[in-house]
Amino acid sequence: MGLVLRSPAFEQGGWIPRKHTCDGANLSPALRWENPRDDARSFVLLCTDPDAPGGVFRHWAAYDIPADRRELAEGYGPESLGDGFEQAINDFGKPGYAGPCPPQGHGPHHYHFRLMVLPERTLPVAAGVTCAEVQAVAEQSVLEEFELVGLYER
């Protein structure tokens, strides 16, 4: 059995609760993973919306997550930076998590929480890096990945 990413907040393909969106408290959902490769040195966690009208919208990039970690608690947002890992600037222009916030009446959007296993402890990126930049650098060395997809509609 390989890498698995889950959330107690929603099932694979299920609806993301309002409290994890811009219509609620805008807090990241709790996320837990298991069975990473033995040679994992760090993790990167992305949250993207490929259904956004302007193309892929990046809601979150948490990176340099230590290899011995197996979860992120609920509640990471712009005010909760730190805690042993880094968070990039999202497409709202703020650091940290920013929850689903699709246009009204645009239909269901699919939010991809993508966990990547990396062979290095830290990504070679500068302070103030964007989610897109974290993704581009991480994809160059990803060893394994898993996506958990949730839905939200306004």
Closest to 151 measured CA to CA, from 108, 116, 118: 108
**What is the pLDDT, as a whole number, of residue 77?**
65
**Cβ contact 99:48 at 8 Å:** no
* pLDDT (0 to 100) of residue 82: 65
pLDDT along the chain (154 residues), means of 10: 95 98 95 97 98 96 96 79 85 94 96 98 95 98 98 97
What pLDDT is stored for residue 40 in this prediction? 97
Q: How far apart are CA 121 and CA 118, in angstroms?
A: 8
CATH among 1.20.1050.10, 3.40.50.720, 3.90.280.10, 3.40.50.970 for 4-152:
3.90.280.10
Q: How high is the pLDDT of residue 105?
A: 95
Full strand arrangement of the beta sheet holding 4-6? 4-6, 31-34, 71-72
The model's pTM: 0.95
Q: What pLDDT score was predicted for residue 120? A: 97
pLDDT attached to residue 148? 98
Residue extents of the structural domains in the chain: 4-152
